[in-house]
Amino acid sequence: MAETLHIIGGGMAGSEAAWQAANIGVPVVIHEMRPKVETFAHRTGDLAEMVCSNSFRSDDDEQNAVGLLHWEMRAAGGLIMAMADQHRLPAGGALAVDRDPFAASVTAALKDHPLVRIEYDEITELPADGHWIIATGPLTSEGLGNAIAAETGKDALAFFDAIAPIIYHDSIDMSRAWMQSRYDKGETEEERTAYLNCPMDRDQYEAFIDALLAADKTEFHEGETATYFDGCLPIEVMAERGRETLRFGPMKPVGLTNPHAPDVKPYAVVQLRRDNALGTLYNIVGFQTKMKYGAQTSVLKMIPGLENAQFARLGGIHRNTFLNSPTLLDDQMRLRSRSHIRFAGQITGVEGYVESAAMGLLAGRLAAAEILGQPLQGPPQDTAMGALIHHITGGAEAKTFQPMNVNFGLFRPVEGLKGGRRGRKDRYKAYTDRAKTAWSDWLSRCTLDENQTV
C-alpha cells in the first residue's frame, strides 16, 4: 500500500486533489474543520461548498480561458466538473450549479471512495513530516494562518487581497499612451520605460472623479471586516476624501512628458505596469477598487488610451489568505523550505472556484505521482492549467503579486496571428486548440486507474 497523502481543507481544491490522488491509487485523509469550526461564509458541513455565487462562469472551451479549464478538468476525470455537470442549471453559455446537491454529491463521492477517509478536525500546526497538501482557502483558520506565516515570514502571507484591474496590452491605444518611468528613472532602457502612461486634461479628470463618486460599489460580506491600509485605499475612497487626492496620489502628473503632445502638461496621469513576464498584461498602478464590475469597466474606459480596454481581471478587495507563491513555491507547488508540503487552491494565489479546483487537481496528481515513486513534470505552459501554475510559481511579478483568474493573457502568444480586437476570435481558437493537444498529451503520460469512474 502506498504512503498516505494528507490534505488539509476539503473545499474545491482539497476535494479535487483527494479524488485525483485516490484514483491513482494513493490513500488519502482529508482534514476538514467544518462543521466543528465554522467560517463566516460557509453555511454547511459539506465539502466543496460554493460560498457565494453559484456560477462556474463560461463553459465555452473554444473562446474562453475558464471554459478551457473546464475542458481540461473534464478530460482528467475531475470530480468537481463531473458533479457540476450533474447539477447544472440553465444559464445560457455559463455553467451554473445547484449548489447544495452539488456539494452533497462531492461529499458522498469522496466518502464512498475506498481510499479516502475524512477526519473532521482543525489543523493548526505545519506537519513535520509525511506527504501533505494545504488547501485551506481564502478563509484559512487563524491558527494555521499563523503557523504558515511563521514559516514563510509575515510579508509573504496576505490576509486581504487588493486587486487593481488588469488589462490586455494589445487593447491599449498607444497613439494616446506612452512608455516612460517618472523622471526617466532606471539604469537600463527597460527600466526607464517601465510604465505605460495615460494622460488626462482637467475636464477629463473632473469627469472621471464625478464618475468614481457616482459609481455603484460592492459592500463587504457580512462578517468580513476590512481595515484599509493607507497604502491600498480603493480609488473611490480616495476620491471621497477629496477631489484632488488622486492627483496627489496614484494619478500625479509629475516627471512625465507626453511624446504625443510634448508642450502640453497633463493634469493627471494614470500609470500601468507590466503584470507578467510575457508583457501581455498590465495592471493599473494603485487602482484597487470596490466598484461593481459593470461600473468599473465603464468608469475605467473614460481613461484616455483605455477606451477599448479589454480586462483580464477586474479589481476588488476581499478577505483572502494567500501566499506570495512566486517566491515560496516551486513548480511542483511544493513549499521550497519544506518540500513535503504542497499548497493548492485559492491560497496559492489563484482566484475562483474553477481555478482553485484546477490547482487541486494538479497538486493531487503531482503529489500522488511523487508518492508512487514516478515523479511527474507539471503540464506544459500552453495548457490552461500550465499557464496558471506557471504564472503563480514564477511568471507573475513577485513584488506586486495578487490573486489571478485564468485568462488568455497568461498564454504564450501564437505566432503569425492577427493581434488586436479583430484577430481575437481566431487567436482564442488557436490558444484553445493548442492547449487541448498539449493537455491530452500530458494526461497520456500520467497513470490513472481506469476502473474508477465518477
Ligand X SMILES: Cc1cc2nc3c(=O)[nH]c(=O)nc-3n(C[C@H](O)[C@H](O)[C@H](O)COP(=O)(O)OP(=O)(O)OC[C@H]3O[C@@H](n4cnc5c(N)ncnc54)[C@H](O)[C@@H]3O)c2cc1C
Return the residue of 5, 10, 250, 306 that touches ligand X, per CB under 6 A: 10
Task: Give the distance, in angstroms, between the CA of residue 226 and the centroid of all CA atoms in the same chain.
Answer: 20
Instruction: Burial-class residue 273 by CB neighbours within 10 Å (0-12, 13-18, 19+).
Output: middle
3-state secondary structure 94-112: EEEECHHHHHHHHHHHHHH
Q: Restricting to residues 345-374, which ones interact with ligand X according to CB under 6 A?
A: 345-347, 352-353, 356
Scanning 47-55, 75-83, 282-290, 307-315 for contacts with ligand X by CB under 6 A, the matching segment is: 47-55
Minimal CB distance to ligand X: which residue?
A: 11
- Using the rule CB under 6 A, which residue among 41, 194, 302, 446 binds ligand X? 41
Binding positions for ligand X, 171-230, rule CB under 6 A: 221, 224
Is 8 a binding residue for ligand X by CB under 6 A? The answer is yes
Does the footprint of ligand X cover residue 310 (CB under 6 A)? no
- Binding residues for ligand X, rule CB under 6 A, total 36
The owner of cell 494513493 is 26
Considering only 80, 123, 303, 329, the residue that binds ligand X (CB under 6 A) is 123
419 among annotated binding-site residues: no
Cell of 55: 456560477
Counting contacts by CB under 6 A, is residue 332 touching ligand X?
A: no
Cβ contact 380:247 at 8 Å: no
What residue type is assigned to position 297 of the chain? T
Q: Nearer Cβ to ligand X, position 268 or 295?
A: 295
Stretch that binds ligand X, among 49-57, 74-82, 254-262, 277-285 (CB under 6 A): 49-57
The answer to whether residue 67 forms part of the interface with ligand X (CB under 6 A) is: no
| Rounded Cα gap, residues 427 and 416, in angstroms | 10
- Indicate whether 11 belongs to the interface with ligand X (CB under 6 A): yes
CA distance linking residue 341 with residue 321, whole number of Å: 17
Pick one of 20, 39, 171, 407: the residue that binds ligand X (CB under 6 A): 39
Instruction: Indicate the residue among 39 and 105 with the shorter CB distance to ligand X.
Output: 39
Q: Reduced to 3 states, what is the DSSP secondary structure of residue 247?
A: helix
Single residue of 5, 21, 28, 34 touching ligand X by CB under 6 A: 34
Of 59 and 382, which has the nearer Cβ to ligand X?
A: 59
Query: Does the annotation flag 10 for ligand binding?
Result: yes
Instruction: Tell the residue number behind the cell numbers 469550526, with chain if given.
Output: 37
CB 287 within 8 A of CB 235: yes
Please tell me whether residue 64 binds ligand X under the rule CB under 6 A.
no
88 pairs with which residues across the strands?
A: 97
Q: Is 9 annotated as a binding residue?
A: yes
Stretch that binds ligand X, among 36-44, 252-260, 286-294, 366-374 (CB under 6 A): 36-44
Of the candidates 223, 238, 348, 363, which has an alpha carbon nearest to the alpha carbon of residue 288?
238
Span from 51-59, 98-106, 239-247, 309-317 in contact with ligand X (CB under 6 A) = 51-59
Asked if 290 and 200 touch (Cβ cutoff 8 Å), the reply is no
State the Cα–Cα distance between residues 8 and 340, nearest whole angstrom: 13
53 binds ligand X (CB under 6 A): yes
Restricted to residues 240-299, the positions that interact with ligand X (CB under 6 A) are none
Give the torsion sign (CA, 6, 10, 14, 18).
Answer: positive
CB of 152 vs ligand X, minimal distance in Å: 16
Q: Is 326 in the site for ligand X (CB under 6 A)?
A: no
Q: Say whether 77 counts as a known binding-site residue.
A: no
Question: Nearest 5°: CA angle at 281, between 205 and 183?
Answer: 55
**In terms of CB distance, is 32 or 236 closer to ligand X?**
32
DSSP-based three-state secondary structure for 214 = helix
- The answer to whether 126 touches 31, Cβ cutoff 8 Å, is no
Longest CA–CA span in the chain (Å) reads 75
Query: Nine-digit cell at 423?
Result: 484577430
Least distance in angstroms from the C-beta of 330 to ligand X: 19
The nearer residue to ligand X, 171 or 325, going by C-beta atoms, is 325
Beta strands in 172-238 (DSSP E): 178-179, 195-200
Asked whether the beta carbons of 246 and 235 are under 8 A apart, the reply is yes
**Binding site members for FAD:** 9-14
**Binding site members:** 9-14
Q: Which residues bind ligand X (CB under 6 A)?
A: 8-14, 31-34, 39, 41-42, 51-53, 122-123, 135-141, 144, 221, 224, 319, 345-347, 352-353, 356
